Amino acid sequence: MRIAVYPGSFDPITNGHLDIIERAAELFDRLIVAIAKNPLKKPLFTLEERLDMLRETLKFYPNIEIDSFDGLTVNYLKAKNAQVIIRGLRAISDFENEFMMALTNKKLVPRVETIFLMTRAEYSFISSSAVKEVAMYGGCLKGLVPEYVELKLREKFRKEGC
Ligand code: COA
């Protein structure tokens, strides 16, 4: 069975992430969307809230599993018997960091491959930070995030939007 892991912060999941997830799920028998518990990041949403948004958004995809992990992504892959890391590439600016991470992961565990999917052009500008900023100032979130995430952002900032 071909198992891939899409790791990230997902604070929160956006339509850009969703696009990558849907396409990766077509390519593998099983896709694990896993939240990395990064102690250096200060997320807006708690781990439980982020897991809840992933579960709700992805509940109709039969071959997708939602999870979270501590420590190195490559160790998580080993534990899950997975060989592939999925990452999305939005623009040239993503490349440097992604290149560094892919090479570090390969150095740590040579059998691990990172597969990059190019984000669809219409999502290439979306980031979780931008979405949070729009929500904070009550801007329109339509088309940027799944409806359930929009609701959760509205609750967090107590702003109405469009
Ligand atoms: N659509 C929309 N946004 C996207 C996106 C897409 N397709 N792809 C990335 N992004 C955005 C995210 O929203 C996020 O935006 P933000 O910075 O505004 O919040 C940003 O790109 C990066 O987020 P993410 O993809 O979640 O990556 P990350 O840098 O938070 O985490 C990990 C990357 C989890 C893969 C990495 O830190 C990791 O592997 N950690 C575990 C520890 C480890 O193994 N370290 C060694 C590896 S070097």
d(CA 50, CA 56): 10
What H or E segment, with its residue span, contains residue 103?
helix 92-108
CA of 93 to the centre of ligand 1 (A): 13
Residue having the nearest C-alpha atom to atom 39 of ligand 1: 73
When the candidates are 1.10.10.60, 3.40.50.620, 3.40.50.2020, 3.40.50.2000, the CATH number that belongs to 3-124 is 3.40.50.620
Tens-digit pLDDT profile for the chain (162 aa)?
999 999 999 999 999 999 999 999 999 999 999 999 988 989 999 999 999 999 999 999 999 999 999 999 999 999 999 999 999 999 888 999 999 999 999 999 999 999 999 999 999 999 999 999 999 999 999 999 999 999 999 999 987 767
- 80 as an active site residue: the answer is no
What is the domain partition of the chain in residue ranges? Answer: 3-124
d(CA 38, CA 126): 21
Choose the catalytic residue: 30, 50, 90, 93: 90
d(CA 80, CA 71): 14
| 72 Cβ closer than 6 Å to some ligand 1 atom | yes
- 156 as an active site residue: the answer is no
What H or E segment, with its residue span, contains residue 145?
none
Helix 92-108 vs helix 73-80: angle between axes, to the nearest 10 degrees? Answer: 60
Residue having the nearest C-alpha atom to atom 27 of ligand 1: 8
pTM of the model: 0.95
| 89 Cβ closer than 6 Å to some ligand 1 atom | no
